[in-house]
């Protein structure tokens, strides 16, 4: 009898940890990792989402989701699903939304384990946005200087989409970039009606930091292509002024455009 009691006690001790393990597993959740092939792309390009699910849950589904802020929705929406493979790995190619968007991968609950999400990642899909006549960028001030003086001719080239100073070569306009733009392109010159020898200065500020300072003379057009420090730049400002007493007429910045990834709700 004493041997039987000892045996029963040993079995009970062995069973108790197993019972606790089962309860812990039932109360636990999956762990999901996520990596992306790129975080910055051109609009329309694809990105590979990949990672692992633990425990592996081979054959089950994970959901690729974005955080939807449109119209105050503020919720995660599923854009694609894929199947967990052997070893818990998954991978899926997705075309991200335009602009800057947060994504994650979510594993729904299965077999007593609670659902879980990966850490989120921000993907930025860039495009070129016009800055004059048909603006995509919000103008803080100086809207009257965007193509308001009719067609102009610079170095013999007619231009119709432009930012321009007033007739005295003075002017200033600011666009909102909201820390989403990383490049600027524009062609700069003096209107051909300017006096021979007219001289002006054109500048671009990223917030308060000067990123372009260009001397502008009659008969030439200079192409500007410059990086913008995206993470800290909330505005881009164009300004110009005459450098001598001759009549410079208009300083013309034709076809200005910025390479940006605006959030969908902006």
CA angle 86, 90, 96 (to 5 degrees): 170
Q: How many CB atoms lie within 10 A of CB 219?
A: 13
How many percent of the chain have pLDDT more than 70? 87
pTM: 0.82
Residues 143-179: pLDDT tens digits?
989 888 888 999 999 999 999 999 999 999 999 999 9
Residues 41-77: pLDDT tens digits?
999 999 999 999 999 899 999 999 999 987 666 899 9
Which residues are registered as beta bridge partners of 189? Answer: 221, 252
Rounded Cα distance between 153 and 73, Å, is: 48
Q: How many CB atoms lie within 10 A of CB 251?
A: 32
- All domains in the chain, ordered by first residue: 30-126 (2.60.40.10), 131-260 (2.60.120.1060)
């Amino acid at each position: 009898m004493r041997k039987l009691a000892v045996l029963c006690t040993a079995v009970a001790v062995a069973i108790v940890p197993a019972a606790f393990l089962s309860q812990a597993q039932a109360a636990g959740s999956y762990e999901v990792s996520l990596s992306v092939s790129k975080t910055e792309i051109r609009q329309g390009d694809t990105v590979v989402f990949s990672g692992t699910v633990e425990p592996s849950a081979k054959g089950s589904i994970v959901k690729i989701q974005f955080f939807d802020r449109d119209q105050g929705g503020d919720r995660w929406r599923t854009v694609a699903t894929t199947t967990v493979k052997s070893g818990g790995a998954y991978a899926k190619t997705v075309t991200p939304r335009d602009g800057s968007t947060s994504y994650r991968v979510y594993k729904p609950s299965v077999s007593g384990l609670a659902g879980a999400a990966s850490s989120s990642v921000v993907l930025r899909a860039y495009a070129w946005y016009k800055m004059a006549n048909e603006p995509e960028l919000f103008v803080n001030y100086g809207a009257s200087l965007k193509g308001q003086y009719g067609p102009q001719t610079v170095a013999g080239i007619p231009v119709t989409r432009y930012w321009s100073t007033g007739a005295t070569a003075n002017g200033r306009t600011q666009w909102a970039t909201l820390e989403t733009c990383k490049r600027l392109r524009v062609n700069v010159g003096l209107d051909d009606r300017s006096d021979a020898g007219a001289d002006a200065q054109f500048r671009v500020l990223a917030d308060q930091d000067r990123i372009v300072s260009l001397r502008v003379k009659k008969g030439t057009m200079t192409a500007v292509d410059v990086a913008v420090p995206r993470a800290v730049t909330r505005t881009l400002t164009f300004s110009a002024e005459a450098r001598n007493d001759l009549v410079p007429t208009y300083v013309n910045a034709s076809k200005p455009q910025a390479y940006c990834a605006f959030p969908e709700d902006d």
